[in-house]
Chain A
Amino acid sequence: MSETTQIGSDALLARRSGARRERVRLVAMALGPVFGAIVMSGLVLLALGVDPIAYYGYVVDRGLINPYGLQATLTRMGPLLLIAAGLIVAFRAGIWNLGGDGQFLLSAVVVAALGPLMVPYFPVWMVLLIGLLVGAMVGAVWSLLPALLKAYQGVNEIITTLMMTFLGVSFANVLVKLFFRDPATTVPQTRTLVVADRLPRLFDTTVSSGLLIGLVAIMAVHLLMTRTAFGLKLRIVGANPRAAIHAGLNVPLLTMATFAISAALAGLAGAVEIMGVQGNVRADWNPAYSLTVVPLVFLARFNGFASIAFVFLFSVLSIGGESAARRTGVPNFFTLVVVAILLIMLGITEYLDQRRRAAGK
Chain B
Amino acid sequence: MSALFTQAFLTSLVLGALTAGIPLMLAGLGEQISEKAGVLNIGIEGMMLFGAYLGFLVAYHTGSVWLGFLGGGVGGLMVAAPMALFCIRMGLSQIVIGIALTLGAEGLTALLHHFQFAQSYPRLPAVETLAIPGLSSIPVIGPALFDRPPIVYLAVLAVAVTAYVFRRTQFGLALQAAGDKPAALDAAGVDVVRVRTVAVLTTGFLAGIGGAFISQIGAGIFVPFMTNGAGFIGIVLAMQARGRPFWVLCGALLFGACLSATTALQVAGVSIPTDIIQMLPFAAVLTVLVLFGRRASLPPALGTHYVRGAR
Report A's interface with B, CB cutoff 8 A. Answer: 44, 48-49, 96, 98, 145, 149, 153-156, 158-160, 162-164, 166-167, 170-171, 173-174, 177-178, 291-292, 294-295, 298, 330-331, 333-341, 343-344, 346-348, 350-351
A-B contact pairs, 30 of them (CB 8 A): A145-B286, A154-B293, A156-B296, A158-B95, A159-B289, A160-B286, A162-B229, A163-B232, A166-B232, A166-B278, A167-B282, A167-B286, A170-B282, A173-B275, A295-B96, A295-B100, A334-B107, A334-B111, A335-B107, A336-B106, A336-B107, A337-B104, A337-B107, A340-B105, A341-B100, A344-B86, A347-B92, A347-B93, A350-B92, A351-B92
- Please indicate the chain A residues that have their CB under 8 angstroms from the CB of B115 in the complex: 48-49
Provide the bound-state CA to CA distance between A96 and B100, in Å.
15
Take A167-B282, A174-B276, A350-B92 as given contacts and tell me if A333 and B104 are in contact as well, using a CB distance cutoff of 8 Å: no
**A340-B100 in contact (CB<8A):** yes
**B107-A177 in contact (CB<8A):** no
**A162-B232 in contact (CB<8A):** yes
Provide the bound-state CA to CA distance between A344 and B98, in Å.
10
- Please indicate the chain B residues that have their CB under 8 angstroms from the CB of A48 in the complex: 111-112, 115
Q: How far is the CB of B95 from chain A (nearest CB, A)?
A: 6
Q: Which residue of B lies closest to A160 (CB)?
A: B289
Interface residues in B129-162 by Cβ distance below 8 A to A read: none
**B293-A149 in contact (CB<8A):** yes
Provide the bound-state CA to CA distance between A153 and B104, in Å.
32
Take A162-B232, A177-B273, A333-B106 as given contacts and tell me if A344 and B286 are in contact as well, using a CB distance cutoff of 8 Å: no
- Please indicate the chain A residues that have their CB under 8 angstroms from the CB of B42 in the complex: 158
Provide the bound-state CA to CA distance between A263 and B114, in Å.
34
**B100-A344 in contact (CB<8A):** yes
**B290-A343 in contact (CB<8A):** no
**B239-A343 in contact (CB<8A):** no
**B279-A171 in contact (CB<8A):** yes
B64 interface residue (CB < 8 Å to A): no
Provide the bound-state CA to CA distance between A177 and B236, in Å.
30
Report B's interface with A, CB cutoff 8 A. Answer: 40, 42, 82, 86, 90-93, 95-97, 99-101, 103-108, 110-112, 114-115, 224, 228-229, 232, 235-236, 239, 273, 275-276, 278-279, 282-283, 285-286, 289-290, 293-294, 296, 298
Take A164-B286, A335-B107, A340-B107 as given contacts and tell me if A174 and B273 are in contact as well, using a CB distance cutoff of 8 Å: yes
Provide the bound-state CA to CA distance between A295 and B102, in Å.
13
- Please indicate the chain B residues that have their CB under 8 angstroms from the CB of A335 in the complex: 107
- Please indicate the chain A residues that have their CB under 8 angstroms from the CB of B279 in the complex: 167, 170-171, 174
Q: How far is the CB of A194 from chain B (nearest CB, A)?
A: 28
Provide the bound-state CA to CA distance between A98 and B101, in Å.
15
**B282-A166 in contact (CB<8A):** yes
Q: Which residue of B lies closest to A153 (CB)?
A: B293
- Please indicate the chain A residues that have their CB under 8 angstroms from the CB of B289 in the complex: 149, 155, 159-160, 163
**B95-A291 in contact (CB<8A):** no
**B111-A294 in contact (CB<8A):** no
Contact residue among B95, B235, B283 (Cβ-Cβ distance under 8 Å from A96)? B95
- Please indicate the chain A residues that have their CB under 8 angstroms from the CB of B232 in the complex: 159, 162-163, 166
**B286-A333 in contact (CB<8A):** no
Interface of B is mostly: helix
**B104-A340 in contact (CB<8A):** yes
- Please indicate the chain A residues that have their CB under 8 angstroms from the CB of B239 in the complex: 156, 159
- Please indicate the chain A residues that have their CB under 8 angstroms from the CB of B103 in the complex: 291-292, 295, 336, 339-340, 343
Provide the bound-state CA to CA distance between A338 and B108, in Å.
10
Q: How far is the CB of A103 from chain B (nearest CB, A)?
A: 15
- Please indicate the chain B residues that have their CB under 8 angstroms from the CB of A153 in the complex: 293-294
Take A155-B289, A170-B279, A174-B279 as given contacts and tell me if A333 and B224 are in contact as well, using a CB distance cutoff of 8 Å: yes
Q: Which residue of B lies closest to A167 (CB)?
A: B282
Q: Which residue of A lies closest to B236 (CB)?
A: A159
Q: Which residue of A lies closest to B86 (CB)?
A: A347
- Please indicate the chain A residues that have their CB under 8 angstroms from the CB of B224 in the complex: 333
Provide the bound-state CA to CA distance between A174 and B105, in Å.
28
**B229-A177 in contact (CB<8A):** no
Q: What are the nearest 4 A-B pairs in CB distance?
A: A336-B107, A340-B104, A343-B100, A347-B92
Q: Which residue of B lies closest to A298 (CB)?
A: B96
Provide the bound-state CA to CA distance between A156 and B100, in Å.
19
- Please indicate the chain B residues that have their CB under 8 angstroms from the CB of A178 in the complex: 273
**B97-A343 in contact (CB<8A):** yes
Provide the bound-state CA to CA distance between A156 and B235, in Å.
11
Take A163-B282, A339-B103, A347-B86 as given contacts and tell me if A155 and B296 are in contact as well, using a CB distance cutoff of 8 Å: yes
Q: How far is the CB of B40 from chain A (nearest CB, A)?
A: 8
Contact residue among A155, A170, A174 (Cβ-Cβ distance under 8 Å from B293)? A155
- Please indicate the chain B residues that have their CB under 8 angstroms from the CB of A145 in the complex: 286, 290
**B99-A351 in contact (CB<8A):** no
- Please indicate the chain A residues that have their CB under 8 angstroms from the CB of B105 in the complex: 340
- Please indicate the chain B residues that have their CB under 8 angstroms from the CB of A341 in the complex: 100, 104
Provide the bound-state CA to CA distance between A335 and B103, in Å.
10
- Please indicate the chain A residues that have their CB under 8 angstroms from the CB of B106 in the complex: 333, 336
- Please indicate the chain A residues that have their CB under 8 angstroms from the CB of B285 in the complex: 163
Q: How far is the CB of B66 from chain A (nearest CB, A)?
A: 28
Provide the bound-state CA to CA distance between A335 and B111, in Å.
10
**B90-A351 in contact (CB<8A):** yes
- Please indicate the chain A residues that have their CB under 8 angstroms from the CB of B104 in the complex: 336-337, 340-341, 344
